[in-house]
Amino acid sequence: MARWALVLAVVGAWWSPAQLLDPPQCANDAAERCAPEGSGQNEYNYKVDGLNVFLEYTDSGYFKLVCPEGLNLDNSALPSFKSQLRVNKVYLENCPSSRGSYADVLEKLNVVVLDKLTLTDAGNVTAARLARLQHLLKLELVQARLEGGALQAALPRLQRLFLDRVALEPGELRRLPPALEVLSLLRMGTDVTAADLRALPRLERLVLRDAGAVRGPAGGALRDLALESPEAHLPRALAPPLQSVTAYGWADARPEPWLACSPEALDLRDARVERLPAGWLGRCAALRRLRLDGAARLDSLDAAALRGARALQELRILNTALQYLPPGLLDDAPDLKLLDLSSNRLLELPGGLFAKTNSLESLNLSSNQLSKSVLESLSAVTSLVSLDLSHNDIGDSCGHVSDAVRGEPCYKSLQLLRHCLLWQKLFNRCF
């Protein structure tokens, strides 16, 4: 028994996380300048030369240093780890001034960063300060000034770059590391041109938030484009290999048909659009999912607006001012499985709307102003699995609850429905 206890105690001590995670210590010869000031979970405070230094870390996870105003990263009294801390991510917040590189600083702290560096309020970020970090795959810069060519020189393997309010030299986007796969630009004045994209042969995903616009055809290797701003301008040609396009704040009031349209998914929100023209999706032969959500001024669709999008499987047009739909709108979408028209102002559906949609399984007409006439249109849709008619004006169109309960529903052809959601006061069961 005693022997087992001893073995367990030894194993326990060996595995003890306390040993692996011993917090940084002030050097003996800096005892007067550096002192621990209490700790919480993963958090450690120190007083260094009278300044409050805050550290946070988890073994293998991350290391974070928040510099107080006036602290220099070269300060020799900063505490350091006894045994090396290896982490995927390092965050340095508000640590602008040091003469050496970040690698020097981390070495003195005895921290090794493997994957990602985040610098907030970093001042001038130069190639010299990023030296010896060439293995890094991800970089985030928030509020900084970037020296021209610094990233290509110092971080050639960089795959993901996130820039938020970073001052760039003109043409800098063409000088980013060529291995870049994901680029996010936040609150940057920079437009992204076709030439920029050509200079980034591996760039798959581009995110612009409150940043400039994409000028010229999107191209290069771009598969995923996401724009988010009060005025998000999309290029007129959504050229291959683009597969997914998202625009929050889509600014085009009178869009023209796309000149090229390779995406499988288009997600347009908070849009200014007033009208969708004939042939709008004429070149979108690969489009499977379209969402137009939040277009307070959209009050008309051309009957041929969707024509050409023959692969369409999911169509969501919601939160618009649409009162009527043109007849034949869905005639060119035979594979449509899901149609969400909720939260519009629809008064009725045109006759024959579902004449060609033989695969439609899910239909959401919730929160419109539809009256009982809608039930006529629906009688043709025999493939439906789910129907939501809640929040409309079809109140007493089917007689009383008791009629339905007696099994005399007024629209027998909907009997194939497996789940129906006529939440509005009428029924408490399906037909």
Ligand X SMILES: *[C@@H]1O[C@H](CO)[C@@H](O)[C@H](O)[C@H]1NC(C)=O
Residues near ligand X (CB under 6 A) are: 123-124, 145, 318, 342-343, 364, 366-367, 386, 388, 421
CA gap 241, 393 in Å, rounded: 45
Whichever of 112 and 142 has its CB closer to ligand X, that residue is 142
Q: Quick check: 45 and 79 in contact, CB under 8 A? A: no
CA triple 282-288-290, angle to 5 deg = 75
Task: Return the residue nearest ligand X (CB atom).
Answer: 342
* Identity of the residue, 306 or 387, whose beta carbon is nearer to ligand X in the bound complex: 387
Q: Cβ closer to ligand X: 111 or 363?
A: 363
Parallel, antiparallel or unpaired: strands 85-93 and 60-66 = parallel
Q: What share of the chain is helix, strand, coil (3-state, %, to 5)?
A: 15, 30, 55
CB of 148 or CB of 241, closer to ligand X: 148
How near is the Cβ of 133 to ligand X at its closest, in Å? 20
Pick the closer one to ligand X by CB: 146 or 247: 146
Q: State the DSSP code for 68.
A: P
DSSP string, 195-228: HHHHT-TT--EEEEESS--EES-B-TT--EEEEE
Nearer to ligand X, 222 or 322 (CB): 322
Q: Nearest approach, Cβ of 424 to ligand X (angstroms)?
A: 13
At closest approach, how far in Å is the CB of 71 from ligand X? 15
* Structural tokens at position 130: 């990023």
Judged by beta carbon, residue 318 or residue 374, the one nearer ligand X is: 318
Question: At closest approach, how far in Å is the CB of 126 from ligand X?
Answer: 8
Q: Contact 342/318 with Cβ under 8 angstroms? A: yes
DSSP-derived 3-state class of residue 12? helix
CA distance 427 to 48: 71
Q: Of the candidates 72, 80, 171, 52, which has an alpha carbon nearest to the alpha carbon of residue 123?
A: 72
Cα separation, 115 vs 129, in Å, equals 17
Smallest gap, in angstroms, from Cβ of residue 198 to ligand X? Answer: 28
Cα angle, residue 120 at apex, residues 114 and 122 outer, rounded to 5° = 95
Q: How far is the CB of 80 from ligand X (least distance, A)?
A: 26
Q: How far is the CB of 240 from ligand X (least distance, A)?
A: 32
